[in-house]
Structure 1
Amino acid sequence: MSQPVSLHHLVRQFAHPGRLEAIYLRPARREPVVQVQQVEALVDRGLAGDRAAARTPWRVGGNKRQVTLIQAEHMPVVAAFTQQGHVDPAWLRRNLVVSGLNLLATRAMFKDEPMIVRIGAHVMLEITGPCEPCSRMEELLGPGGYNAMRGHGGVNARVLAGGHIQVGDAISCSLPLAL
C-alpha cells in the first residue's frame, strides 16, 4: 500500500510549465497600455517602462504590486460573464498574460514554504496576493464588468530576481530552495 501524499507535496506539483503570452506596460495612470515583446524585470521595482517601476520603493523589497499577472484562460470566462464575444487582455491593464499554469495555485499556501514563479532563465517573482478589479472595469467591460472580473483579475507579484523576459518564455513554480 502506498503512503498518502501530503498537502505540502501536492501544492508543489504542477503538470507542466506555463507560457508568457503577452507583456503590457502601463506608462501612466489611465493612459493606454503599451504591448511589448520583451522587457527587463527590476528587483524590488517591477518592469522597466511600467509606472510601478518608476516609483521609489518606500520599504525594503518594494511594494506588493510591482507586477500584475493574469490567466489567459480566464479571458473567455470574463467575456461570457459580460456577454462580449472577446475580451482583449490589454483592456484589463495587467502586465503579464500567462497560459498553461494556474496562477492562483502559485501563491504560497504555507508561510514556511513560499513559492517562486520563474519566468525564463533568471526572473523570479513572489506572488503576493490577488489583483482585485477596480471600478474602471465597468467603463471598459460595461455594466457588471467589475463583478465579472472578481476572482478572475489575476495576481500581484514582487520581483525577487531581475532579468530579461520575453513573450514565449516558460513560466514555472518552485520552492525558493533552488534560488
Structure 2
Amino acid sequence: MAAGRLLGIARHDRPRGPMEVLDHVSVSAAGGVQGDFRGAVRPGRKPRRQISLIEAESWEAALADLGRAGDDDLQWWKRRANLLTQGIRLPRQAGAIIAIGDSLRIEVTTECDPCSRMEEIAPGLKAVLLPDWRGGALGRVIADGEIALGDEIRIIE
C-alpha cells in the first residue's frame, strides 16, 4: 500500500482570519482541526468541509504554471488548507477514506474548488488550481486522532 507524509498543518479561527501553522494538533469528529472555525459540526447538519487537504505536488505544479515556483510569498497555507500532504495522490472521489497517523480517519466528501479569494492572493491562482483537484479535497472526520508533521498518510478505502 502506498504511503505519503504529512508535511504541513494549519488552521484559522475565523473567516478570513490569519492562518496559524502548527507542528501537531488534535483532530476530532466533533470539532475538526482543534481551533479551526470550519471544523465544528452544527446540530442537525452533516459535515461536508470539516477539514481540507492539498498535495504539495499539486501546489508546486500550480505555482509552476503561474510562473511563481519557489516563491516564498506563496506558501501552501495561503491556499487556506488545513493539511499538506506529500508523496501520495489524494482520492478524487467522495467516500474514500484517508488515514493519517495512528488513528485519524477522514472521509473525502468533495473537491475543494478554489474560490475567488485565490485571485486576491495571486492573479491567476484560481485558474491554475482548477484542473485535476489541484485545489485539494474536503472531508469529514470519522475517527479522532492526534497528528504531527511527518505522520504517515495512507488511502485505506
TM over 0.5: yes
Cα deviation, 1:54-105, whole Å, max 9, x if unaligned, reads x442436x31100000000012211122221333101101000001110134
Measure the CA separation in 2 of the matches of 1:66 and 1:96.
12
* Cα separation, 2, equivalents of 1:64 and 1:56: 9
| Residue pairs, 1:13-162, within 5 angstroms | 14=1, 16-53=2-39, 55-59=40-44, 62-85=46-69, 86=71, 87-105=74-92, 107-108=93-94, 114-142=95-123, 144-151=124-131, 152-162=134-144
Identity of aligned residues (%): 31
- Aligned mates of 2:66, 2:111 — CA distance in 1: 21
Determine if contact 2:30/2:41 at 8 Å carries over to the other structure.
no
TM-fit CA distance, 1:148: 1.2
The list of structure 1 runs, each at least 4 consecutive aligned residues, that deviate by more than 6 angstroms after superposition, is none
Gaps of 5+ in 2: none
Q: Secondary structure at the match of 2:154?
A: strand
Kept in 2, the 8 Å contact 1:44–1:63? The answer is no
Partner of 1:7: none
In structure 2, C-alpha distance between the alignment counterparts of 1:163 and 1:29, rounded to whole Å: 24
Structure with more of its chain in strand, by fraction: 2
Larger radius of gyration: 1
Number of equivalent positions? 152
- Asked if the contact 1:25–1:34 (Cα under 8 Å) also holds between the matched residues in 2, the reply is yes
CA RMSD in angstroms comes to 1.6
Q: Which has the higher contact order (CA 8 A, sep 6+)?
A: 2
